[in-house]
Amino acid sequence: MNCEHLQENLYDYLDDILSSAEKAAAEKHLLSCSICREAVQRELFHAETISNQLRQAVEPVALGENAQRQMARAVQRSIAKSPERSPFSFWSRLAIPLAAAALILISASWLAHRVISGRTSNRSTVNSVAASAQVVPIHFSYSVPEYTFQKEGALVIDALTYERRSVDGALIARK
Amino acid sequence: MGMDQEEGLVMALKNKDSASIEALIETHGTRLLRSATLLCGNETNAQDLVQDTFVEAFRSVHRFRGQSSLYTWLHSILLNLTRHHRRHANRLVCDNELAAQEGSGSEEQVSTLDLDCASAELTRALDQLSESHREVLVLRFYEHMKISEMAQHLKVSTGTVKSRLHYAIREMQKLFPPEMNLFGAGGTKENT
């Protein structure tokens, strides 16, 4: 093990989670390298001194018997007010907004369907009225624009009737 | 803590009766309170956070899978609550009551005062650190967690933990009075 490798694995060495072979290699390197040895000892020094200071800083802090009892009563009151959350609490919290959104969507679709079908029914009413009236034959003609087709047999859509037609000799007006 | 006691406390967590709540608070209350004091910098707020931790634990008992110790699980709840609290609260000051509670006697008083001074400086310095730096210092040096445990606890990679720890110590070196020689480069036991 070299210095770079040891520095990379310094915390693993300190946490004693290196494999036995790696640990042995690290210790062998530490015997011969004062820089790495110092790095390890610096970390150990930090661990010891900071740990001691933190421990001493909060040593006087404690939950006395009275405080424990008060806390227990407060905890009991709180959990009585709102009992255990079910594992589906996340979904149950989402359920109401999701249901509302779905309801709005369904209502909007239904309304849109009603509006569209209303228009269609109006049109069919006009048609039925026309059918019941006296039929007067009228003749009108329109001029078919000149088309130019590449070949016979191709399918085209008539611009006026929107019918699909196969190109035949009659349609080919001019090339 | 023995396995039996741990299992008993997990059962207590599920029972939710007053005796169970008291048993859990008696076992883990003080340790959580001390950690919370270091994390939030104030004992009064820490007490509220610990109480909320127990409430949350009893409510979310179904989430405890036994993959970590009960204390570690409780601490992860505390950590989340502390983060939430600190983000919504003003900067808190170190509780000076700690110093007032220390012993008597002239010679003993000097050493106690020195010690308190260092502790007060330490907590003051901790309070000036960023949340992530304070967390790694407390987890590493107060909770004595391994890097991998810290990574799991903080839900970050081990590389991030190492980096945060490195910069947290560097920040403390800047913030802590050099005459106390706690973080100085000259503070190692062996100077070769």
* Count of positions (residues) in chain A: 175
Q: Which residue of B has its CA nearest to A53?
A: B119
Residue B187 lies in a domain: no
Q: What is the pLDDT of residues B96-118, one digit of tens each?
A: 444 444 444 443 333 333 445 66
CA distance A16 to chain B (A): 9
Q: Which residue of A has its CA nearest to B142?
A: A51
Q: What is the pTM of this model?
A: 0.64
Task: Report the C-alpha gap between A61 and B5 in whole angstroms.
Answer: 24
Average pLDDT over residues A124-140: 66
pLDDT recorded at residue B189: 41
Q: What is the pLDDT of residues A60-76, one digit of tens each?
A: 888 888 899 999 989 88
List chain B residues with CB under 8 Å of A51: 141-142, 144
- In chain A, what percentage of residues exceed pLDDT 70? 73
Reported ipTM? 0.75
Residue B41 lies in a domain: yes
CATH no. for residue B43? 1.10.1740.10
Which residue from B33, B98, B182 is facing A53, i.e. has the nearest CB? B182
Inter-residue contact B95 to B43 (CB < 8 Å): yes
Q: How confident is the model at residue B154 (pLDDT cuts 50, 70, 90)?
A: very high
Is residue B6 pLDDT above 50, yes or no?
yes
Domain of residue B114, residue span = 105-181
Q: What is the pLDDT of residues B80-97, one digit of tens each?
A: 999 888 777 654 444 444
Residue B6 lies in a domain: yes
- CA distances (Å), origin B6, targets A125, A135, B11, B126, B150: 80, 96, 9, 32, 21
- CA distances (Å), origin A123, targets A115, A116, A129, A130, B91: 13, 11, 10, 11, 72
